[in-house]
Amino acid sequence: MSLELDHQEIEKAIGRFAEAYDALESLQHREAAKPPHHALQPHKGDQKTGLVGEYWAIRYARSIFPRAAISFGGHSVKGWDLKVESSGEKPLRIQVKTASEYGAGKLSLIHHPTRSDGHESWDELWLLWLDRRFQPVTLWKLKPEHVFFVGDG
């Protein structure tokens, strides 16, 4: 299977997912109006948007770093999502945070770039905004010095 066919297959699945997500979102709004003990679905909140966002992020990263080895951090890695490794250079660690029109701009926790727990941290923070079809609309790329954390001096 060619790389382009792989991309097409993933993007078709994302389109079908967007349709299903839209239907579930409508049902969740309806269910939220019911008393809690009668609701058939939980209130909003999930990680599915992040999964789609990381797909778009790695695809973009591979296009701007064509000679680099780019990999996902894995579930146990908390400080970054993508690692870009280029010959002779320090690895670039990227934390990806994704929001969509469904989430009203909410993001999951952004880990501080200087970690005291021994975990490696991020060098760039990528904030990705997806439309209702889970297509990328905007990507902001930030360095640690451009991000303010509560408690920072």
Q: Give me the tens of pLDDT residue by residue for the chain, a chain 153 residues long.
A: 688 899 999 999 999 989 988 887 787 778 778 765 556 655 554 567 887 888 899 999 989 999 999 888 876 777 888 899 999 999 999 999 999 988 876 777 787 787 666 667 899 999 999 999 999 999 999 998 888 877 665
The string of DSSP codes covering 57-104 is: HHHHHHHHSTTSEEEE--TT--S-SEEEE-TTSPPEEEEEEEEEGGGT
Q: 94: closest CA among 149, 50, 143? A: 143
**Whole-angstrom distance, CA of residue 123 vs CA of residue 140:** 14
Instruction: Write the CA distances from 97 to 1, 19, 22, 40, 103, integer angstroms.
Output: 30, 22, 21, 29, 12
Which pTM was predicted? 0.76
In terms of phi and psi (left: phi > 0; alpha: psi -120 to 50; beta: otherwise), the region of 100 is beta
Please count the CA atoms within 13 angstroms of the CA of 50 that sit on its side-chain side.
16
**Whole-angstrom distance, CA of residue 142 vs CA of residue 126:** 6
Give me 74's structure tokens: 């894995």
